[in-house]
A and B are shown apart, each in its own frame.
Chain A
Amino acid sequence: MRISNFDDLERIRKRGLSKIAPNKPFIGVGVGTCGIGRGAESLFDSFAREIEERQLNIGLKRLGCFGFCSEEPIVNIYIPNKPLILMHRVSENDITPIVLGVEKAIFPYRNILCRVEEWDFITSNLTYGRGYLEHPLWNEIPFFKGQKKIVLRNCGLLVPGDLEEYIGVGGYYPLYRSLFEMTPKSIVEEVKRSKLRGRGGAGFPTGIKWELMAKAVGDQKYILCNADEGDPGAFMNRNEIEGDPFMLIEGMTVAAYAMGASNGIVYIRAEYPLAVQRLKESIKEARKKGLLGENIFGTEFSFDIDIVEGAGAFVCGEESALIQSIEGKAGRATPRPPYPSEKGINGKPTNINNVETYCNIPVIISKGWEWFCPKCI
């Protein structure tokens, strides 16, 4: 079924919310690449077997990575109207105590990492419940203390690739707002005033880049997402795509509307097979729901995203080399100017941003530039 108006969106939001906070308990296993490396897949299967054998009324979910990779596998325990409990370093031996404990709300103490009473999804708020005062709050433990999750707001709490859950926490409302309440010009203005800077590392002001691209004339324009992250020790783009692929898709769609483009390409490393797979599935799902492809939300605006998989060349993270690679050549950097916004893929105007830059866009549209950059007022 295609989503074509506000009522559809509301209906799906309610359905999504009842999946995120259902009225029966569930166990969520973090199955990002980090979790899987620590055995989360087999842990998930063991949980499934245990629940089935004991015929318990407990749901089971595959979640993304909550962001504490060295403590994987992380398991979330949800009990209605109680705080969400996060357990760390869970092993096969802990399965029976955990599964049996869910009913009585007693857990193996050494596995408990923290509790989450309420969560700011930024596009919405959710209160799980109060209690379990003996366990620390998530932002009381040293690792998370001082963190404010903006881009990773949904990671580890939603099922990656489940569109209903993404809409359930307020996703795709920013796109709706962009299409029906804003103009391409006012979106660029909003991004410009938010002072969002390119998250790929160079920190070029995104709004200015978008403005150049919006002004560029061309029968076809490309929105390009650089997910060829290769610096040793950096894996934020992998986490973003694996944990919450829809925020990237939504961010790119808003960008396309703002700059008048109809083609999107995500250039992603082949070393991230799980991210590629989740992104592919999510794009397919978004197309099915009418949030990508022809006439998005029933409007005149059409936009679609293709995926190009890199083939293992570090230099392709540089934008001109990346464009060469997409054109099917060896990825050698070319001199600039001309900049991609004048002459990019096949000589057409192209806007390149990092994954994380696009992921910030729904937040800026939803909360406004004043919220994103209080100092800019």
Chain B
Amino acid sequence: MKKIEEPQFDKRSIEEIIALNGRKPGALLTILEEIQESNEFKFLDREAMEYLSDRIDIPLSRIYSVATFYSFFNLEPQGKYTIVVCRGTACHTKGSKNLLDQLFLLPKCKGAFESGESSFTTEDREITVKTVACFGQCALAPVVAVDGVIYNNVTTGQIKAIVKKIEEERDNENIKL
């Protein structure tokens, strides 16, 4: 099993992000998005949010309210690869449930979604599975995004293949569906 380093938050990059975005409209959202992006595991850790709250004078409760309201923000460390399955109406009728079922074969994944979670990360922090309401690609449903790249007319076979590929080539930066 791979050793998992504990995530640390980086004060300097948070300072830079505040300096760059502090005065723009919608600043809090942008700042949180960028802090999350700058984190190695793509999530908002508690220390970072506390530090931010002190620096920009916004109560931690409000930052937490924003971070939990929007589905884009992660409060848990994310996997190296993210697979997002669209669960919009068009994708549903074209069988996106089957794609998700294929991913439910990952250990503990099914339980997490059934208990109401909207995202799941494997214990070795390799794969994160998420759902989204609609990518706006309905003419080509079902749609799946892997690391931000959108793929159309996806089949369960492709999902099976990519999970296998991720397990085999752990350090491949460029996994494609």
Residues of A whose CB lies within 8 Å of any CB of B are 33-34, 36-38, 69-70, 72, 229-235, 238, 263, 265, 267, 270-273, 306, 308-314, 325-332, 345
Q: Which residues of A contact B138 (CB under 8 A)?
A: 232-233, 235
A70 close to B133 (CB less than 8 A): no
Is B60's CB within 8 Å of the partner chain A? no
Interface size classification for chain B: 35 or more
Given A37-B150, A38-B140, residue A271 in contact with residue B26 (CB < 8 A):
no
Are B139 and A313 within 8 A (Cβ)? no
Pick 22 A–B contacts, CB within 8 A, sort by A: A33-B136, A33-B137, A34-B140, A37-B151, A69-B140, A70-B139, A233-B89, A235-B134, A265-B26, A308-B29, A308-B30, A310-B29, A310-B70, A311-B29, A311-B32, A312-B72, A312-B132, A313-B71, A325-B29, A326-B25, A328-B66, A329-B62
Alpha-carbon separation in the docked complex, A306 to B148 (Å): 23
Question: With contacts A36-B150, A232-B134 known, is A309 near B30, CB below 8 A?
Answer: yes
Closest 5 CB pairs of A and B: A235-B136, A328-B28, A311-B70, A308-B26, A311-B72
In the complex the two chains form, is B71's CB within 8 Å of A265's CB? no
| Contact with A326, one of B26, B66, B148 (Cβ below 8 angstroms) | B26
Q: How far is the CA of A332 from the CA of B62 in the complex (A)?
A: 13
CB distance from B129 to the nearest CB of A (A): 16
Contact with A along B134-177 (1 / 0, CB 8 A): 11111110010000101110000000000000000000000000
A201 to chain B, nearest CB (A): 15
Q: Is B40 an interface residue (CB 8 A)?
A: no
Q: Name B63's closest neighbour in chain A (CB-CB).
A: A328
- Which residue of B133, B136, B150 has the most chain A CB atoms within 10 A of its CB atom? B136
Answer whether A232 and B29 are a contact pair too, CB < 8 Å, given A69-B140, A311-B72, A329-B62: no
Take A233-B90, A311-B73 as given contacts and tell me if A37 and B137 are in contact as well, using a CB distance cutoff of 8 Å.
Answer: yes
Question: Does B27 sit at the interface, judged by CB under 8 A?
Answer: yes
B17 to chain A, nearest CB (A): 14
CA distance A273 to B140 in the complex (A): 18
Query: Is A313 within 8 A of B70, CB to CB?
Result: yes
A interface: dominant SS: loop
Chain B residues near A272 (CB-CB < 8 A) = 136
Segment 45-90 of B: residues with Cβ below 8 Å from A: 58, 62, 65-66, 69-73, 88-90
Chain A residue contacts of B151, Cβ below 8 A: 37
CB atoms of A34 and B137 under 8 A apart: yes
A308-B25 in contact given A231-B134, A235-B138 (Cβ < 8 Å): yes
Check A311 against B71 for contact (C-beta < 8 Å).
Answer: yes
- Shortest distance in angstroms between B105's beta carbon and chain A's nearest beta carbon? 25
Assembly CA distance A37 to B176 (angstroms):
12
A235 CA to B29 CA in the complex, in Å?
Answer: 24
Q: A34-B140, A38-B140, A235-B138 are in contact. Are A330 and B69 (CB under 8 A)?
A: yes
A-B Cβ contacts below 8 A, count: 110
Q: Are B70 and A312 in contact (CB under 8 A)?
A: yes
Task: Write out the residue numbers on chain B whose beta carbons fall within 8 Å of the beta carbon of A70.
Answer: 139-140
User: Does B33 reach chain A (CB closer than 8 Å)?
Assistant: yes
Q: How far is the CB of B96 from chain A (nearest CB, A)?
A: 11
State the CA gap A229–B62 with chains docked (Å): 25
Q: Which residues of A sit under 8 angstroms from B71, Cβ to Cβ?
A: 311-313
Task: Name the CB-closest residue of B to A37.
Answer: B152
A327 CB to nearest chain B CB (Å): 7
B24 at interface by CB-CB < 8 Å:
yes
Closest-CB distance, A240 to chain B (whole angstroms): 11
Nearest A residue to B134, CB-CB: A232
- Are B143 and A230 interface neighbours, CB within 8 A? no
Cβ distance B60 to chain A, nearest Cβ, rounded Å:
14
**Residues on B with beta carbons closer than 8 Å to the beta carbon of A230:** 133-134
Q: Could you say which of A72, A234, A328, A345 contacts B140, with CB atoms under 8 Å apart?
A: A72
Partner of B66, one of A232, A265, A329: A329
A37 to B149, CA, bound (A): 8
**Bound complex: CA A273 to CA B135 (Å):** 10
Q: A38-B140, A232-B134 are in contact. Are A33 and B150 (CB under 8 A)?
A: yes
A308 to B135 Cα, complex, angstroms: 18
**Chain B residues with CB under 8 A of A37:** 137, 140, 143, 150-152
